[in-house]
């Protein structure tokens, strides 16, 4: 092959390489644009917390990622949750507080942001809610079912072997004693104090003022505004504008949502899905054999927001 032919082939292959690289780069930018990432201008991160709060891993990871990302100048936390478990709510609250120490955080409340949904919002720089948003519900509840009378009628007995008198507190197959009530009441009272302190610190309100309305009552957004639990009446876009103003962003900010996790290939997706289905099936069978209801019962015994 002469030199001229080699140069022609090199030019062809080089052009194909450049075109392929350009196509891949364009595809990447389109995908990132769909996730809210754009180039240039101020950026505001958006974290969505929706539904009952039963776990915190995803929300905490997203908040932490925005904390570490220097390109993100402010964050809007969109909350549409009736609350949930205590510890996950506290974990998200702690991450929101940590983020607010470094960047501006604005909460936008949707239809409902009550109990744990309000707890996690308290440390934000500003809280927005709609006039009819259901929020507040500052309090703690623990529900302990009792089926002792039903089991007596059915002739069902649960034999209990325990290491101490309080080990089966809340056992639904026996009477709920005053000792049981004292144990659960003490636990609820301690968690309640943590809730009141978190709201007082986050909203910079006297504890006495918070305690006066922390009886579990649900408030509208308008009532919450009058009581100092939120800052302004407004929707999601109002919260975004406020976050941009706090961060000194001029013009319309670019919203950045956490990237969606995508499988690398269809084969990987199908293989992982098949393995997960098998594991889920085996877990379900094992759960039925070993008495999976114990896990559900624990959710009743634990206090919740």
* Residue-wise pLDDT tens digits, 228-248: 999 999 999 999 999 999 999
Identify whether residues 75 and 222 lie together within a single domain: yes
Given the residues 162, 167, 190, 283, the one annotated as active site: 167
Is residue 296 in some structural domain?
A: yes
Domains identified in the chain, total number: 2
Average pLDDT of the chain, as a whole number: 83
Interval 103-125 mean pLDDT: 97
Dist. CA 196–CA 214, nearest whole Å: 7
Residue 300 lies in domain: 139-214+264-305
- To the query of whether residue 162 is one of the catalytic residues in this protein, the response is no
pLDDT at 270: 56
pTM for this prediction: 0.74
Q: With a cut of 50, say whether residue 133 has pLDDT above it.
A: yes
* Residue-wise pLDDT tens digits, 36-61: 444 446 999 999 999 999 999 999 99
Identify whether residues 148 and 275 lie together within a single domain: yes
Identify whether residues 114 and 166 lie together within a single domain: no
Given the residues 108, 115, 137, 169, the one annotated as active site: 115
pLDDT at 286: 42
Dist. CA 213–CA 63, nearest whole Å: 29
* Residue-wise pLDDT tens digits, 174-209: 989 999 999 999 999 999 999 999 999 999 999 999
Identify whether residues 126 and 228 lie together within a single domain: yes
Identify whether residues 166 and 276 lie together within a single domain: yes
Token pair 């390109």 is at which residue?
71
Dist. CA 147–CA 7, nearest whole Å: 86
Identify whether residues 298 and 204 lie together within a single domain: yes
Token pair 């140069």 is at which residue?
7
Identify whether residues 83 and 113 lie together within a single domain: yes
Instruction: Locate the DSSP E strands across the chain.
Output: 43-50, 74-81, 104-114, 126-129, 134-136, 218-220, 232-233, 254-256
pLDDT at 201: 97
170, exposed or middle or buried, with CB in 10 Å at 0-12, 13-18, 19+?
Answer: buried
Identify whether residues 223 and 75 lie together within a single domain: yes
Q: What angle do CA 68, 120, 65 make, to 5 degrees?
A: 15
- To the query of whether residue 260 is one of the catalytic residues in this protein, the response is no
Is residue 56 in some structural domain?
A: yes
Is residue 4 in some structural domain?
A: no
Q: What CATH number does residue 114 fall under?
A: 3.90.226.10
Maximum CA extent, the chain: 99
Is residue 25 in some structural domain?
A: no
């Amino acid at each position: 092959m002469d030199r001229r032919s080699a140069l022609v082939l090199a030019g062809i292959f080089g052009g194909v390489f450049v075109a392929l690289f350009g196509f891949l780069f364009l595809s990447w930018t389109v995908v990132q644009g769909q996730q809210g990432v754009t180039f240039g201008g101020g950026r505001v991160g958006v974290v969505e917390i929706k539904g009952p709060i039963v776990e915190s891993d995803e929300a905490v990871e997203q908040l932490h990622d925005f904390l570490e990302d220097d390109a993100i100048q402010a964050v809007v936390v969109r909350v549409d949750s009736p609350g949930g478990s205590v510890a996950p709510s506290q974990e998200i609250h702690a991450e929101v507080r940590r983020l607010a120490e470094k960047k501006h955080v604005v909460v936008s409340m949707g239809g409902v942001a009550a109990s744990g949904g309000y707890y996690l919002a308290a440390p934000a720089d500003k809280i927005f809610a709609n006039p009819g948003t259901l929020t507040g519900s500052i309090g703690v509840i623990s529900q302990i079912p009792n089926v002792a009378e039903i089991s007596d009628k059915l002739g069902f007995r649960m034999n209990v072997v325990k290491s101490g008198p309080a080990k089966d507190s809340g056992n639904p197959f026996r009477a709920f004693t005053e000792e049981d009530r004292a144990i659960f009441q003490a636990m609820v009272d301690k968690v309640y104090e943590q809730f009141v302190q978190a709201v007082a610190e986050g909203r910079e309100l006297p504890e006495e003022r918070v305690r006066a309305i922390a009886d579990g009552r649900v408030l509208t957004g308008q009532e919450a505004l009058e009581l100092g639990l939120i800052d302004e009446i407004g929707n999601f876009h109002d919260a975004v504008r406020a976050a941009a103003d706090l961060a000194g962003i001029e013009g319309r900010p670019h919203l950045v949502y956490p990237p969606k996790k995508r499988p690398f290939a269809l084969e990987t997706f199908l293989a992982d899905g098949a393995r997960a289905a098998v594991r889920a099936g085996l877990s379900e069978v094992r759960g039925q054999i070993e008495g999976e209801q114990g896990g559900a019962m624990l959710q009743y015994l634990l206090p919740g927001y």
